[in-house]
Chain A
Amino acid sequence: MDTAVWLQSGLTAPILLPLTGALLAFVMRRRATPIGLLSVVALLGAVILQVPSLFADGPQRLAIGGWGAPLGVDLYADGLSVAMLLMTAVVGLGISLYAAAYFRDTPARGQAFWPLWLLLLTALNALFLSADIFNLYVTLEILGLSAVALTAIAGGADALVGAMRYLLVSLLGSLAYLLGVALLYHAYGTVDIALLAERIAAEPATWAAMGLMSAGLMLKTALFPLHFWLPPAHASAAAPVSAALSALVVKGSFYLLVRLWIELFGEIAGGVATLLGLLGAAAVLWGSIQALIQTRLKLLIAYSTVAQIGYLFLAFPLAVGTGATAWSGALYLALSHALAKTAMFLVAGNLLRFGGHDRIADLDRVVQRLPLSMAAFALAGVSIMGLPPSGGFIGKWLLLEAALTEGRWGWAIVIILGGVLAATYVFKVVGYAFTQSENPHQAQPVPATMEWVAFALAVAAVLMGLIVSQPLIVLEIGNPFGIQAEVAVQ
């Protein structure tokens, strides 16, 4: 068998490895933890192996079943896809190591966790690799269902109510997306993104499909004012699940929206890009202010996610005219947010395990007792605020650059204001961590793994600010942001 087929077939590995792991973990419940950890390590290896061939041969396309579009389903990996796969694998490994320690005392929950978590990784990887809008719908279904089931694992009324609402929202989003797929298929006779891009025209069916698919994905990404479901679901889930939801799951639907926007809808959207940007700006301000007034740490972090998602949507209007800078900025922010937000939620899990609560005002000098966790929180906070050196700084800097080169001061002010508000809510937590509480509490031991994983991810978020050029080069392999088209227009 020739090497080209082998290399192409490597594209299925990020999907098949966690899927096989999920099946094994489901059947062999008692071995679920080692199976899960092995699968995630193998996944990271498989994704890293994709990088050299990406540099050497550019974007890869694989026609599953040998058919090719439009009859079959194609996988497609360019720099953007591989960057998202890398983010998922790295954050996924961190969450897996944490979860292995987190669920040690509750084996029944752990056994339920692993198959669902591996299926969530399968769905994310399949989503990042798919080039077919119907296949993407199926991946969205697996992603949504596994995320809901994982939310419910925490048990208790809060988690179940949050999960139920999440389920309904997720289904509504999927159905809106599917209706858009049906309209596009009827109008253009294909569900392959590349073929659709050639055939798509500005007509009512396309506008309706754009509205439906964008609305469905905005709902799933929790863009203001469709964010109402996120804080209860993300705050009530178990710590590793909260981290996965905030760091990875919302990025899946965001990635898909960016893809559709660049390939299909961008040309015909007109003022819709500005609308998305305005909603993003509102999300930055509203989410940050809500985060500031929360009294519970996990809710604060969840509202911070609402605000950070808002930043990602600023790229839609900013990309008009500046193209790659704005998209690179938003995606760089998405990647570093994944690392930083995972670290924050894992720290919140450590504090919950340590003190039995997550009331911010009662943190009670936790900095002396869990110094590693609080250091992780502060480092992750640096990236969330967008202070140098951190991945968050680079992302926001690129967005700011895109805003300023075109003289769009309004967007620039939102970007800076969001950073100031983020600094305020991060320092609020850090401040309480130093002060003595009036209600001292019994402390429980926290496994060292849980602290070190959070710390390592926070350090990685900061490192993203020091190693900038390589991730940016990877992101732009295969020209995912359609720069050639921009030049031609100019």
Chain B
Amino acid sequence: MTPMGFGARAGHLLLIALLAVIFGGLALAVLSLPSESPGLSAQVEAAMGETGVTHPVTAVLLDFRGYDTLLELVVLLLALAGVWSLAEGSPFADRRPGTMLDRLSRFYAPLMLLVAGYLLWAGSASPGGAFQAGAVLGAAGVVLTLTGWRLPVALAGWPLRLILVSGVSIFILVGLVAFFFGAVWLDYPLEWAGALILLIEAIASLAIGATLAALFLGGRPEAHP
């Protein structure tokens, strides 16, 4: 470690003192809060009947605050667009996996698809849903990438990009369905709400999975097939 000058050391002490004060203040503020938050659980519970799903988390994510979730999907897509703007092509060289990895991944990958499908379906009634299913799909993509599997060149261009934007796109389009029923954007008609939410979740999980796997790959696969 290099010896610090007096100024640097004083600066460090000052920084520590400042952080301690901020921490103390925040701790006091948190302690001052009532332990029972007024929250919105009761209102969510009361409105569940108008959502078309039975799990409150899914109702909040896809219905009450669906607009937030749409923008979160945009964040994910934006992260990938940002990475692609930096890196041209994938830095992964082809490698041959060992026998063990090769066999196991052949076994795991279909299983992970199945798990993703289940998580997606379960989301309407219990914890689960598009983000969880998408994460498992993304992990399946990572495992396949690590064992040397590559997206066919024919699919690596616009078809892949279409899948990547499909989550946000279907959300916007389903939201527009409301116009035919004289309602505002993202207001699903009650008799269709359950089915529409499942449609959004199914396509969104595919898009999320593809985005996560593509983020792992690093660059645009099309640039260096």
Chain A contacts to B: CB under 8 angstroms = 1-2, 5, 8-9, 12, 16, 19-20, 23, 26-29, 62-67, 70-73, 108, 112-113, 115-116, 119, 122, 126, 134-135, 138-139, 141-142, 145-146, 148-149, 152-153, 179, 183, 185-190, 203-205, 207-209, 211-212
In the assembled complex, B66 has its CB within 8 A of some CB on chain A: yes
The answer, yes or no, to whether B32 is at the interface (CB within 8 Å) is yes
A12 to B162, CA, bound (A): 23
Tell me whether A142 and B74 are in contact in the complex, defined as CB-CB below 8 angstroms, given that A23-B165, A148-B82, A149-B81 are known contacts.
yes
Cross-chain contact of B184 among A20, A65, A209 (Cβ < 8 A): A65
Chain B 54-81, CB within 8 Å of chain A: the 1/0 string? 0000000001111110011011011101
* Given A28-B158, A64-B184, A65-B66: A116 in contact with B85 (beta carbons within 8 A): yes
Q: Taking A16-B172, A145-B82 as contacts, is the C-beta distance between A27 and B165 under 8 angstroms?
A: yes
**Which residue of B has the minimal Cβ distance to A209?**
B29
Cβ-based interface call for B98 (8 A): no
Known contacts A16-B172, A204-B29: A26-B165 contact under CB 8 Å? yes
User: In the complex, what residue of chain A is closest to B47 when comparing beta carbons?
Assistant: A71
Task: List B residues 153-183 near A (Cβ within 8 Å).
Answer: 158, 161-162, 164-165, 168-169, 172, 178-179, 182-183
Docked Cα-Cα span, A113 to B84, in Å, equals: 11
Contact at A119–B74, with CB atoms within 8 Å?
yes
Alpha-carbon distance between A464 and B138 when the two chains are bound, in angstroms = 51
In the complex, are the beta carbons of A134 and B77 less than 8 A apart? no
Question: How near does chain A come to B151, taking the closest CB pair, in angstroms?
Answer: 16
- Is B201 an interface position by the 8 A CB rule? no
In angstroms, how far is the closest chain A Cβ from the Cβ of B111? 31
Which B residues are CB-close (under 8 A) to A208?
A: 25-26, 28-30
Q: Which residues of B contact A2 (CB under 8 A)?
A: 182
**Closest residue on chain B to residue A150 by CB atoms:** B85
Known contacts A73-B67, A186-B33, A189-B39; A112 and B84 CB within 8 A of each other: yes
B37 located at the interface, meaning its Cβ lies under 8 Å from any Cβ of chain A in the complex: yes
List the 4 closest pairs (A to B, CB-CB), nearest first: A189-B38, A149-B82, A208-B29, A66-B187
Instruction: Kindly state whether residue B86 has any CB partner on chain A within 8 Å.
Output: yes
Evaluate contact between A149 and B71: CB separation under 8 angstroms: no
Q: Cβ of A187 and Cβ of B33 under 8 Å apart? A: yes
B183–A66 touching, CB < 8 Å = yes
**B88 at interface by CB-CB < 8 Å:** yes
Describe A's contact surface by its main secondary structure.
helix
For this complex, 20 residue pairs linking A to B, each with C-beta atoms less than 8 Å apart, are A9-B184, A62-B185, A64-B186, A65-B186, A65-B188, A66-B183, A67-B64, A72-B65, A72-B67, A116-B78, A116-B81, A119-B81, A134-B65, A135-B67, A135-B71, A138-B71, A138-B75, A148-B82, A190-B40, A205-B32
Chain B CB count within 10 A is highest, among A64, A65, A142, for: A65
Do the beta carbons of B78 and A152 come within 8 Å of each other? no
> A20 touching B68 by the CB < 8 A rule?
no
CB-defined contacts of A23 to chain B, threshold 8 Å: 165, 168-169
Query: Known interface pairs A64-B67, A66-B184, A71-B44. Does A207 touch B29 (Cβ–Cβ under 8 Å)?
Result: yes
A25: min CB distance to chain B, Å: 10
- Residue contact A142 to B75, C-beta cutoff 8 Å: yes
A141-B29 in contact (CB<8A):
no
Pick the residue among B40, B72, B75, B77 that contacts A26 (CB under 8 A): B77
* CB-based nearest B residue for A114: B81
A113 to B187, CA, bound (A): 33
Min Cβ gap B20→A in Å is: 15
Provided the pairs A5-B183, A23-B168, A73-B67 are in contact, do residues A146 and B78 lie with their beta carbons within 8 angstroms?
yes
A1-B179, A9-B179, A142-B78 known; A70+B187 contact, CB < 8 A: no
Task: Tell me if B182 and A1 are in contact (CB < 8 A).
Answer: yes
Task: Please determine whether A138 and B158 come into contact, CB atoms closer than 8 angstroms.
Answer: no
Give the complex CA separation of A152 and B87 in angstroms: 11
Is residue B99 within 8 Å, beta carbon to beta carbon, of the partner chain?
no
Judging by beta carbons under 8 Å apart, are A70 and B43 in contact? yes
- A149 B64 Cβ-Cβ under 8 A: no
Minimum C-beta distance from B216 to chain A (A): 18
In the complex formed, the residue of A with least CB distance to B38 is A189
Alpha-carbon gap, A63 to B67, bound state (A): 11
In the complex, the chain B residue whose C-beta lies closest to that of A30 is B158
Within the complex, the shortest CB–CB distance from A176 to chain B, in Å, comes to 10
Given contacts A65-B186, A138-B71, whether A205 and B82 have CB atoms under 8 Å apart is no
Min CB distance A39 to B, Å, is 14
